Structure 1
């Protein structure tokens, strides 16, 4: 049986349990049956304003991920290849890394405002760490024989970094990007839901809940967010297998 068939069977079973639990009263009456949620979802997919919310969330996610990669990969290469710099920055990195992005929402609202810059900034902050640490640890795992061979052939520090370190670290870096992609989407939608804004899936869910407790609309938006996250992860996984066919790190084998 193909994996996609097994996945669909499992998803169908989950929806059946949800439908039965909602109609039998086993869960809160505030949670509508899945059939009602999907009916609202199909209505929303014909609504142009809801598509603008999806596009706003996706665009903020993409911008945040690109910025995070642009920051984390060079920083990881530097910290991973210069032990003194890594040791000197360890305290501040370990201080900042555990801070949840949602805890920074009040400060971000004061400093940046309620525009899309807030959710992008917080998503960048949360997404940097998986890429950064995957890059650093990938450099720690380089076979010293490879580096010694490159030095024996006259490679300098820059050439060693670009021709040995970076190709070795690339699959691990890409795995960090996959992890950060999910984190960025979670943070973007969370900030939209908590802090509001003009457009976004989280903003739509907040308005639906505050405008009359429409849990059917909230859950419909939640399903859209889940599908978006699945498509992003599956797409990155396929890209990883295409770019790094020799590696079992960048994408799982099917």
Structure 2
């Protein structure tokens, strides 16, 4: 007889919704009571109305797709680069010691600090945003892959060698499946980083289109409600990405949670 896990999602959704409602009510009261000037913070009800209106505009969806394109392409390239490199560094002590100095030298450099160089190399188009997203997303995926590979049970690898499996088969059947929960956690973290980097790059560097560019245009024209609307929508996109990757992680790697409770 299998035990069923209690369903906790509705409760968490209710608590989260209550928190959001309390926040917006507090902001509405602060503005209506003139404790905060509307010149800096319009009433929350007007911001919500502007946000709903924004979702029906074609320019928003054009900006949305431009930003998401850079996010998803950059995240995909970072995964294709970081996972194989992380597996090699995790399995080979010699390779890890040879590469760790370069990794630790590059990792602390903020991606935003590379914007002038990226503009010189790729211009202000999608390629520039993708390059910076790749740079920022590589690190969480790389270090989670290394960590996951380091913590693979040595008994499984030894058993595979006893049965005559080569290095490639051992990697595919033992190391990669065992490290996959850690790798996906790195990808989930990198997805949020990708959105932050894409929007930040658009705000700082400009370009043809994107959520950050539209947000900066609204700010420069003094349209506060539209600026806040773009900010809220960007936050909602980040929340949606977090929930999506979290749901995939729980579905694909449910066995890790079950193993932790046994």
Q: Please classify the TM superposition score into its range, dividing by the shorter chain length.
A: over 0.9
Shift of 1:47: 1.2
TM-score, scaled to structure 1: 0.94
Please, which of 81, 84, 89 is the counterpart of residue 79 of structure 1?
Answer: 89
Provide the residue aligned with 2:7 in structure 1: none
Please, which of 9, 23, 34 is the counterpart of residue 25 of structure 1?
Answer: 34
Please, which of 61, 65, 78 is the counterpart of residue 71 of structure 2?
Answer: 61
Please, which of 154, 172, 181 is the counterpart of residue 162 of structure 1?
Answer: 172
Shift of 1:153: 1.1
Query: Which residues of structure 1 form unaligned runs of 5+?
Result: none
The total of aligned residue pairs comes to 249
TM-score, scaled to structure 2: 0.91
User: What is the root-mean-square deviation in Å for CA atoms of aligned residues?
Assistant: 1.5
Structure 1 residue 116 corresponds to structure 2 residue 126: yes
| Match runs of 1:164-203 below 5 Å | 164-203=174-213
Shift of 1:24: 2.7
Provide the residue aligned with 1:229 in structure 2: 238
Equivalent-residue separation in structure 2 for 1:106 and 1:36 (angstroms): 37
Structure 1 residue 243 corresponds to structure 2 residue 252: yes
Please, which of 179, 194, 219 is the counterpart of residue 228 of structure 2?
Answer: 219
Please, which of 39, 60, 81 is the counterpart of residue 49 of structure 2?
Answer: 39
Shift of 1:100: 0.8
| Secondary structure of the structure 2 residue equivalent to 1:27 | coil
Structure 1 residue 105 corresponds to structure 2 residue 105: no
Equivalent-residue separation in structure 1 for 2:78 and 2:27 (angstroms): 37
Query: Which residues of structure 2 form unaligned runs of 5+?
Result: 1-9
Query: CA-to-partner distance for each residue in 1:69-128, whole Å, 9 max, x for gaps?
Result: 111111111111111111111111001101111111111111211111111110110000
